[in-house]
Structure 1
Amino acid sequence: MGGRPRPERLMQAFRNVLDECNLVDLGYEGPRYTWCNRRYEHGVVSERLDSYVANHSWRTCFPSSRVVHGFTAYSDHLPIILIPSSSHNRYQQKLFRFEAMWVEDDECGDVISRCWNGATDNRPMDSFIDRLRICSRGLEAWNKMKFGHVEKQIIKARESLQRLQHADPSSISREELMQAQNNL
């Protein structure tokens, strides 16, 4: 939306390469555009710059693949995520994520020390893996007691930002976007 037109000869050369290699665009879910110049009040330009392409063999191997345009709080580019197959991820265990805000709390170091030093084993590698597992569980439990449902607040802030990124860029103000980014 907006911006300078691309030279037709370059676009045709790109299309020719796609045709010669039998590549097709995999489509996407999510916001239409993957880049925005962030000039919301005057001269907003949004483009779908990024995409995944694949040939027939790849599409046969991964028939249920999906491409998702993600969201971002601070970059002018949205990430594009390839999910090759949803069936393999159905029963995957939730990943542990260390939250940066934890290190600002004085209790965090104590929780890590208590969990790390509480696990002992004679096998060094098993001991290391056990310590990581015990430490991650301890931090998750401490997080719920100390900070409550931060994940729900993050999800709500993320959904708000996604709604704005799905909207027509000329219909939102810079202040709205900045507020949604700061909430995240």
Structure 2
Amino acid sequence: MQLFREVMDKCGFIDLGFVGSQFTWQKHFTDGHSIWKRLDKALANNEWMLRFVDSRVHHLSAISSNYNPLWIMPKNPNTRIVQKIEKCGKELKHWSKVDFGNVRSELNLKRRLLVEAEKEAMQSRDNAHVRSRKAKINDLFDKESRMWLQRSKVLWAKTRD
């Protein structure tokens, strides 16, 4: 680890910090205890920081993995790429509501409940609620996958493609 820190110093890398959960990796054991670590960090040098002023690193949540992905985004979302991503997201959200209905909103609710359960588990050292909520979310993911599969079969039947 010391060698890594020396390389960071020699290259002039700076930890960009983060927004969101303080951990990027977690392991929940069936006996109730959990391990939480911040394994992943976004690093940049001065040139990058001057080029992308006020960028933020977000720790996103991942339901079916022990690792939480990082998302680096400029603070001022007026760039063309971010606008295109937001537009695409809005169109996909509308399409999802029309075609899939309640599964998406139920998943969002369960994700919020999972975040609360993770906070409680960090305090109480009991991860039973976390494991239970992750199982419910995985069930919803399975349901959503089946819906996608059904939709693809319908489209294939219509177009024979």
Structure 2 length as normaliser, TM-score? 0.66
Determine whether 1:68 maps to 2:58. Answer: yes
Partner of 2:88: 94
Cα separation, 2, equivalents of 1:18 and 1:56 = 12
Cα separation, 1, equivalents of 2:53 and 2:121 = 31
Determine whether 1:84 maps to 2:74. Answer: yes
Determine what percentage of the aligned residue pairs are the same residue: 25
Determine whether 1:156 maps to 2:109. Answer: yes
Cα separation, 2, equivalents of 1:53 and 1:167 = 30
Cα separation, 2, equivalents of 1:180 and 1:171 = 19
Q: 1:52 aligns with which of 35, 42, 48?
A: 42
Contact 1:160/1:180 (<8 A) preserved: no
Count residues with an aligned counterpart.
132
Higher CA-based Rg: 1
Determine whether 1:178 maps to 2:135. Answer: yes
- 1:136-147 map, 5 Å: 140=95, 144=98, 147=100
Determine whether 1:31 maps to 2:21. Answer: yes
Structure 1: runs of 5+ lacking an equivalent? 1-10, 99-136
More helix by share: 2
Structure 1 length as normaliser, TM-score? 0.59
More strand by share: 2
Amino acid in structure 2 at the alignment position of 1:51: K
